[in-house]
Structures are given as structure tokens and as C-alpha cells.
């Protein structure tokens, strides 16, 4: 048998030994050397509210990207699927109000589930999974690039090399976890340059 197959998964304590721990609703760890943010998922199958928002605007009301503008709001939950953890949106638009579990299951299976993101488990300990959520928080959740295109401002794309977790505004509380990121959008044509915007994405119960 291969040595990798017999080796026990690394514990969260050992994996995060050199990282900064920030306890809260979702305890997170900051890896300053690699610029990574890792989340402890200790609330599997527990619903919570996920909200993203735009921290900084671009100074033009016509475009409709104003500072502190809320984005989509979703009821979501983490689900463990083997070596992965999925962030799944709960479908409250179609549901069965019934005491019969088979009826509830039938309605749930009649409509496709929306998986927002998937994460590989980096370490685990006492039933708690540790996931690297860096890419999730550095994505264009507010769809800024599409909004600029729709408003005929040019074509832009997210530049990952100039985007990072903004730790000074990232906070953790007993009932709320707030993650902020600096995202830079690069013009895809010679007519467009690059513009930095700072949207923040928040999770809360």
C-alpha cells in the first residue's frame, strides 16, 4: 500500500502552526507568507447568510457601482463531500411545508441545487475541516467586470496578481465574519487601462 494512503491527515493545529489565528463565527487563519486565508468549517449543514458588497465606488453614479453597495444575499450552508467541502445555496423559493420528510425530499430533489463554490480539505481535527478560501474571496462576486461592459465602459477582467486579502478591514466576531479584499480589474483592450476597486464580502449567521 502506498505511504500516502496510510498517512493520517494533518491536524489543523499542526497545519496552522505558523499562521495567525482569528477566532470568531468562522475561525480563520492568516498565512502572511503566502497571502492565504483559511477557514475552519465547524458548522456543516448549518444555514447562514452570505452577503457580498462593494466597499469602494468609482465616482460615477451612472455606472451604478457605488461604495457600500450590497450585492447578492444568499442563505447557504457548508456540506462535506469526501475530500471536499461544498458551499451550497439553500433553495427557499420552492419548498414543501410539510411534516412528511418524503414530501420535503421530493420537492428538494425536483429543483437543481446551486453550488456556489467547492473547497479541498487542507487539514481536519475533531470533526472540523480546514479549507483554503483565498480564491473564493478574491473572485468577482459583485460582477464588476460585467457591469462595466453592460454600461459600455470597456471590457475588464480581474487581475489576480494585483488582488489580495485586505487584512486591516477583515474582522471576526462571535456571530459574524467579515472578509475584505482589494481587487484590481485590468482592461482587456488598448482603450482601457487598469482600475483598482475594493469590494468586501461578508458572511454572517
Residue pLDDT, tens place only, 83-116: 999 999 988 876 667 777 777 677 677 666 789 9
Burial 32-47 (b: 16+ CB within 10 A, else e): eeeebbbbbbbeeeee
pLDDT confidence bin for 55, thresholds 50/70/90:
confident
Instruction: Give the C-alpha separation, 186 to 50, whole Å.
Output: 27
Q: How far is CA 140 from CA 91, 92, 156, 160, in A?
A: 23, 25, 11, 10
The values of phi and psi at residue 56, to 5°, are -120, 140
pLDDT confidence bin for 67, thresholds 50/70/90:
low
Supply the pLDDT for residue 65. 67
Q: For 18-42, give the secondary structure using H, E and C.
A: CCEEECCCCCEEEECCCCEEEEEEC
Least confident of 18-22, 165-169, 179-183, 197-201: 197-201
Instruction: Give the C-alpha separation, 94 to 90, whole Å.
Output: 10
Supply the pLDDT for residue 195. 53
Q: Grid coordinates representing 146?
A: 460585467
Give strand pairing partners of 123: 130
N residues, the chain:
205
Q: What is the average per-residue pLDDT within 43-54?
A: 90
Instruction: Give the C-alpha separation, 160 to 142, whole Å.
Output: 15
For 143, the 3-state DSSP assignment is: coil
Q: What is the average per-residue pLDDT within 28-56?
A: 92
Instruction: Give the C-alpha separation, 28 to 62, whole Å.
Output: 37
Higher pLDDT, 139 or 57: 139
Question: Does this model's pTM top 0.85?
Answer: no
Instruction: Give the C-alpha separation, 125 to 72, whole Å.
Output: 32
Give strand pairing partners of 194: 186
Q: Grid coordinates representing 6?
A: 496510510
- Compute the mean pLDDT over every residue in the chain, rounded to the nearest whole number: 82
Instruction: Give the C-alpha separation, 100 to 31, whole Å.
Output: 47
Amino acid at each position: 500500500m502506498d505511504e500516502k494512503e496510510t498517512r493520517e491527515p494533518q491536524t489543523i493545529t499542526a497545519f496552522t502552526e505558523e499562521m495567525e489565528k482569528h477566532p470568531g463565527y468562522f475561525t480563520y487563519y492568516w498565512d502572511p507568507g503566502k497571502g492565504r486565508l483559511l477557514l475552519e468549517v465547524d458548522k456543516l449543514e448549518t444555514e447562514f447568510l452570505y452577503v457580498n458588497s462593494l466597499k469602494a465606488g468609482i465616482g460615477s453614479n451612472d455606472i451604478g457601482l457605488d461604495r457600500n453597495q450590497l450585492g447578492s444575499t444568499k442563505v447557504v450552508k457548508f456540506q462535506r463531500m469526501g475530500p471536499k467541502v461544498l458551499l451550497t445555496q439553500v433553495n427557499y423559493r420552492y419548498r414543501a411545508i410539510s411534516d412528511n420528510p418524503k414530501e420535503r425530499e421530493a420537492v428538494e430533489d425536483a429543483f437543481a441545487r446551486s453550488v456556489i463554490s467547492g473547497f479541498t480539505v487542507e487539514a481536519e481535527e475533531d470533526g472540523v475541516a480546514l479549507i483554503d478560501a483565498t480564491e473564493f474571496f478574491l473572485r468577482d462576486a459583485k460582477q464588476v467586470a460585467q457591469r462595466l461592459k453592460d454600461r459600455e465602459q470597456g471590457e475588464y477582467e480581474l487581475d489576480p496578481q494585483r488582488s489580495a486579502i485586505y487584512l486591516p478591514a477583515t474582522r471576526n466576531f462571535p456571530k459574524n465574519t467579515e472578509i475584505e479584499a482589494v481587487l484590481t480589474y485590468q482592461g482587456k483592450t488598448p482603450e482601457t487601462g487598469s482600475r483598482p476597486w475594493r469590494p468586501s464580502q461578508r458572511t454572517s449567521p
